[in-house]
Structure 1
Amino acid sequence: MAVSFESGRKLARGFILASMLVAGPASALAPEHEIKRLMLATEEAVATERWGEAGEYLNRLQAIEGKKPADYFFYRGRVMFQAAQLNEAQAALEAYVKQAGAEGAHYQEALGLITDVEKARAAKAAAPKTPNGETAKIAVIEPAGDQSMASLRQLYLTDTDREALTIHLNSLLDVAGWRADRAVVKLDRPADVEYRVDTAESTISIQEIRRSPDGRVVRKTSQMPVFGINPLVEWGCESAASSCWVYDPRDGSRLFQLSYNRDQAQDIAQTLGRLIRNLQAPNGS
């Protein structure tokens, strides 16, 4: 199941070509029949390792309104893994396991693929970086310059960039909390998963707050030393899980689980990257 990241980039580019080959006029079939047709086409494409075609069929499936079968997430996970899109692959495979359960036809294979994703992510984090060897990322936010720091300091009435960035990151996290029930959002009801950050010298302290349906609250605090880590912070969203994630720049694991809002996830990833860079600077303030 191993996949190289160079071949992953080629596969991702191949999806574009495949879209021109398999895309045709809109189907006259009812959605439930079109879903079954495209699932059969996806299964055949995956079986013969025509990954570009499989990716296009899956994209067309995603655009169809209606409930998708559990196998849709399994095949999406396989195709994303082949394209070296590790974050999306893991989210899709976990969605399959959750929906299909242990009785699913691909249950064992999905668990194995999730392990392969973790191994690939660890290898990616450990591999030396060269100018021509960077792995393509789904969504990477490069820390912005300091041109807006003055306005942030003025907005939050602070004297230092570090304090302004910390307050700003917490403000963004406050409105991006994850809720199990997206249909009901009450201003006086906190999210099911929330985060708070604080800084001390070269470390970011992250508190995760999880609320269970019975009202119990579990708080967990972890420390992120910033020296030696890349301030380029990845993020991604997966509609199947109704979540966006900001990923830990140390190992690519999930750091923040957020509501399904791409703009919010992007802002949080960008601000976290700027805060990391500020803490790494010898004269950071």
Structure 2
Amino acid sequence: MVSVFWAIGTPVMAAEPIEFGSDESAHYLAELKKLYLTTSDREALLAHSNGLLDTYALRAGYQVGQTNPQDFIYELSVAAPGELRIREEVRGNNGGVAVRNRSLSVFGLDPYLQYQCPAQGPSCSVNSPVDGLPLVVILRDPKGAEELAKALSFLIRNLQKG
């Protein structure tokens, strides 16, 4: 079941509530560790999140009819204990590249991330738990956005452990 909230006329969805200590949670993490050949929950979650960000990257080619199509490419890393670093690279058709690095301190945050996929437009966004603004923007794929929000929720919860 997916929760739907309305904000500014666009549906905002949260990944299905997850019991982080449940058998389902343990199974999810075990499958990721097996997939990414690691014994670390954090490494598996980072690899999975970055893989999803690569798979669902919003590329200029998907933005048909847009006046200024751009590639949005993200990479996540852990900067310090309890700090998620988000590297955003935006490439324009004119060859220009803008890189922005942001850090998200996860302590005290609600780890259940919300995402939205407006009916119009080429993108979905996973929203920041700090201010509700887009944390990352990906190709419009509700299932992909849901899986990314789930992986990031697990990653934030993992980082909150220190």
- SS state at 1:171 partner: helix
2:71 corresponds in structure 1 to 192
Deviation at 1:183, TM superposition (A): 7.1
Give the letter for the 1:192 counterpart.
D
Per-residue CA distance 1:166-224 (angstroms, 9 max, x = gap): 0000000001111343278xxxxxx7111100013211000001001111111100000
The list of structure 1 runs, each at least 4 consecutive aligned residues, that deviate by more than 4 angstroms after superposition, is: none
- SS state at 2:61 partner: coil
Give the letter for the 1:85 counterpart.
W
Q: Determine if contact 1:198/1:205 at 8 Å carries over to the other structure.
A: yes
Structure 1 residues 183 and 220: alpha-carbon distance in aligned structure 2, compared to 1, 3 A threshold: closer
- SS state at 2:12 partner: coil
The structure where helix makes up a greater share of residues is: 1
Q: Determine if contact 2:83/2:104 at 8 Å carries over to the other structure.
A: yes
Q: Does 1:258 align with 2:138?
A: yes
Instruction: Tell me the distance in 1 between the aligned counterparts of 2:131 and 2:73.
Output: 21
2:12 corresponds in structure 1 to 138
Q: Does 1:162 align with 2:42?
A: yes
TM-score with structure 1 length normalisation? 0.48
* Max Rg structure: 1
CA RMSD of aligned residues (A): 2.2
Percent of pairs identical after alignment?
33
Deviation at 1:149, TM superposition (A): 1.3
TM-score with structure 2 length normalisation? 0.82
Instruction: Tell me the distance in 1 between the aligned counterparts of 2:97 and 2:119.
Output: 26
How many residue pairs match? The answer is: 147
Per-residue CA distance 1:92-148 (angstroms, 9 max, x = gap): xxxxxxxxxxxxxxxxxxxxxxxxxxxxxxxxxxxxxxxxxxxxx831113462222
Deviation at 1:254, TM superposition (A): 1.0
Instruction: Tell me the distance in 1 between the aligned counterparts of 2:156 and 2:145.
Output: 16
Q: Does 1:239 align with 2:119?
A: yes
- SS state at 1:204 partner: strand
Which blocks of at least 5 consecutive residues in structure 2 are unaligned? Answer: 65-69
Higher RCO structure (Cα 8 Å, ≥6 apart): 2
Q: Determine if contact 2:63/2:122 at 8 Å carries over to the other structure.
A: no
Which blocks of at least 5 consecutive residues in structure 1 are unaligned? Answer: 1-11, 13-83, 92-136, 185-190
Per-residue CA distance 1:3-37 (angstroms, 9 max, x = gap): xxxxxxxxx9xxxxxxxxxxxxxxxxxxxxxxxxx
Give the letter for the 1:194 counterpart.
I
Which runs of structure 2 are paired with 1:1-285 in the superposition (5 Å)?
Answer: 85-86=6-7, 88-89=8-9, 138-141=12-15, 142-143=17-18, 145-182=25-62, 192-199=71-78, 200-282=80-162
Give the letter for the 1:249 counterpart.
P
The structure where strand makes up a greater share of residues is: 2
